[in-house]
Homo-oligomer: A and B are copies of this chain.
Amino acid sequence: MKRTVPKKVSTAAHERLASWIAARGLKSTRQRDLIVDTFFSQTGHLSVDELVEKAKQRDPSIGAATVYRTMKILTDAGLASARHFEGGQTRYEGALDRHHHDHLICTSCGNIAEFENERIEELQDRVAEEHGFTVTHHKLELYGLCAACQQRQSNPNRQR
């Protein structure tokens, strides 16, 4: 039951994944390739559901469990990062050569913007130090309305 895997996206990611997989005796499979390929061909912060749907478009036999398993591997390999925003489901974003960054989440349309702020990071470190904490990671998320949704709310006629 062979299926053609669409042409590769993000070669760097595939290579890093390949060596990660080889290094621990895992095996590379058609499903894994397809899921990884699908993930890297998208941008933004995908939920597993969304990813399952996209993957099933290419191969309807893909199971959700495999998508979960694959995203865990990608995360362990440092190629994706899992985010847990409000709303209960984990979202993944590509992590290849990316800086640390935080998020602005629109509670109306779900749009997610990213930002980096060195000054805030420094202040966080200082706070941690004052409390004798060694910080391993942190979470900074700003929730509210994006510009477009504010517009929409004050101008309901133009909505949608």
Whether A96 sits at the interface, judged by CB under 8 Å, is no
A77 vs B107: C-alpha distance when bound (angstroms):
22
Contact code string A132-160 (vs B, CB < 8 Å = 1, else 0): 11111111111111110010000000000
Kindly identify, within residues 102 to 146 of chain A, every residue whose CB is under 8 Å from any CB belonging to chain B: 104, 106-107, 113, 115, 117, 119-120, 123-124, 127-128, 130-146
How extensive is the interface on chain A, given as a class? 20 to 34
Known: A106-B133, A133-B104, A147-B133. A142 touches B120 (CB 8 A): no
CB distance from A74 to the nearest CB of B (A): 20
Of all chain B residues, the one with the shortest Cβ separation from A151 is B132
Whether A69 sits at the interface, judged by CB under 8 Å, is no
Contact A142 B117 (CB under 8 A): no
Q: Name 18 A/B residue pairs within 8 A (Cβ), A-sorted.
A: A104-B133, A106-B133, A113-B131, A117-B123, A119-B123, A120-B120, A120-B124, A123-B123, A127-B142, A128-B142, A132-B146, A132-B147, A133-B145, A134-B144, A134-B145, A136-B144, A137-B144, A140-B140
Interface residues of A, Cβ cutoff 8 Å to B: 84, 86, 104, 106-107, 113, 115, 117, 119-120, 123-124, 127-128, 130-147, 150
Nearest 7 interchain pairs by C-beta: A132-B147, A135-B144, A136-B144, A138-B142, A139-B141, A134-B144, A134-B145
